[in-house]
Amino acid sequence: MDYELNEEMRMLSEMAYKFAMNEIAPVAEKADHDEVYMSDVRKKAGANGLIGCWIEEQYGGAGVGFLGNSIITEQLSRACVGFALSLTAATFGAENVHFYGTHEQKLKYFPAVCAGDAAVAGAYTEPNAGTDVAGYKTRAVEDGDSFVINGNKMFITNGSVCDWMVVQAITDPQEKVHKSFSQFIVEANTPGITRTKLHGKLGIRTSDTAEIAFEDVRVPKENLVGTRGNGFYQLMHFFNTTRVMIAAQGLGLCEACLEESVKYSKERNVFGKPLGSYQITMQKLTEMAIRVEALKNMVYKASWLLDIGKPDYHLAAMAKYFGGQSAVFCANAAVEIHGGYGYMEEYKVSKWYRDAKILELYEGTKEAEIMTLGKALLAK
């Protein structure tokens, strides 16, 4: 068993880290403060092959799989989780088209996204239903050669900046709930769509989040993704894939917190001695390092299994849960190590503390992951 990354993945990791330090780190603080989505940096990332790297080369991607995507996400997140999300999640929702879409759909929509010239949104969550996917109410009614969509979506990543989106809607209400949903590609400039950017988030402010309203939005039948009535299961497949990316975000944030805390512990003197010489500081740093190493192995293994066609959805849920928990732990420990300075905006750890919490919430709350894993364990 070889735990080493191959040369291609090592080079990808180095390139992503350099991009993070040169293109993201210098502007991350201001972009976060101003809540600005920076499409110019997205275009640079696309030009460097950092967006949609898991997409096949024939559709514009780099073809390096989900492991490559996790490595890129990890390295970009070391500079800023929100910024990393705005780049690696420029494809958010495209996974459904990747798994279930037609060749024609991929040729039409993927190349511009991979180039950084366009962004995608996964329009799933609704005002009254988040983790409760079966509770979605948006409807798509067949009408001639089209479907007409009505409903509302909430907390949609890339919602106000996307060029197209994948929408989850009820097409067959007479069926059992899990067989009533379908998915559609909907272009953002379609008449009847209203998009409203959400402001005032606790963290990841560089990432765009929006509410989307659909009023008699007409979509051609050829924009159906996958099989009619299979939308619920397609969405579960999507989440079981993207949860690994969330864990990779957590990994990058944990690594950044550890690196910054080690540096500060060497520089800061307390009672005449370096802060790092005290056992309590060593304990915090050690626990952070242990979480980084454990999480890295979970993320890389879960990604590798996706790439070889043997996905382990329970491992993906574990990685998502542990990634969010570890991000919150490491960010909290970093603030404590920095003391009062860690509470100030001029120190990066205060921002990382704000960013960390979302990793326990989106793509399924930590409680949802516990339910998933608990049921699986008890079913054995």
2 confidence band (pLDDT: 50, 70, 90): confident
For range 15-31, the mean pLDDT: 97
What is the average pLDDT across 255-261?
98
- 190 has a pLDDT exceeding 90: yes
What does the pLDDT average to over 46-62?
97
The active-site residue, picked from 95, 360, 363, 369, is 363
Question: Over the chain, what is the mean pLDDT?
Answer: 97
Fold agreement (120-230, 233-378):
no
- pLDDT-above-90 percentage for the chain: 97
Domain 120-230 has CATH 2.40.110.10: yes
In the chain, the percentage of residues whose pLDDT exceeds 70 is 100
Q: What is the pLDDT of residue 3?
A: 87
In the predicted structure, residue 228 carries a pLDDT above the cut 80: yes
Q: Per residue in 282-337, pLDDT tens?
A: 999 999 999 999 999 999 999 999 999 999 999 999 999 999 999 999 999 999 99
The structural domains of the chain, with segments of one domain joined by +, span 7-114, 120-230, 233-378
Which pLDDT band, with edges at 50, 70 and 90, does 21 fall under?
very high
As a whole number, mean pLDDT of residues 11-28 equals: 98
Model pTM score: 0.96
Q: What mean pLDDT do residues 177-201 have?
A: 97
The CATH code that applies to domain 7-114 is 1.10.540.10
- Mean pLDDT, to the nearest integer, of 261-277? 97
Q: Specify the pLDDT at position 333.
A: 98
Q: What is the pLDDT of residue 132?
A: 87
Asked about 363 being catalytic, the answer comes back as: yes
What was the pLDDT predicted at 196? 98
pLDDT at 345: 93
3-state secondary structure the chain: CCCCCCHHHHHHHHHHHHHHHHHHHHHHHHHHHHCCCCHHHHHHHHHCCCCCCCCCHHHCCCCCHHHHHHHHHHHHHCCCHHHHHHHHHHHCCHHHHHHHCCHHHHHHHHHHHHCCCCCEEEECCECCECCCHHHCCCEEEEECCEEEEEEEEEEEECCCCCCEEEEEEECCCCCCHHHCEEEEEEECCCCCEEEEECCCCCCCCCCCEEEEEEEEEEEEHHHEECCCCCHHHHHHHHHHHHHHHHHHHHHHHHHHHHHHHHHHHHHCEECCEEHHHCHHHHHHHHHHHHHHHHHHHHHHHHHHHHHCCCCCHHHHHHHHHHHHHHHHHHHHHHHHHHHHHHHCCCCHHHHHHHHHHHHHCCCCCHHHHHHHHHHHHHCC
In this structure, whether the domain defined by 233-378 belongs to CATH 1.10.357.10 is answered with no
pLDDT at 134: 86
The predicted model gives 134-161 an average pLDDT of 97
- 324-346 pLDDT, tens per residue? 999 999 999 999 999 999 999 99
pLDDT at 1 over 80: no
Q: Residues 193-212: pLDDT tens digits?
A: 999 999 999 999 999 999 99
Report pLDDT for 131: 82
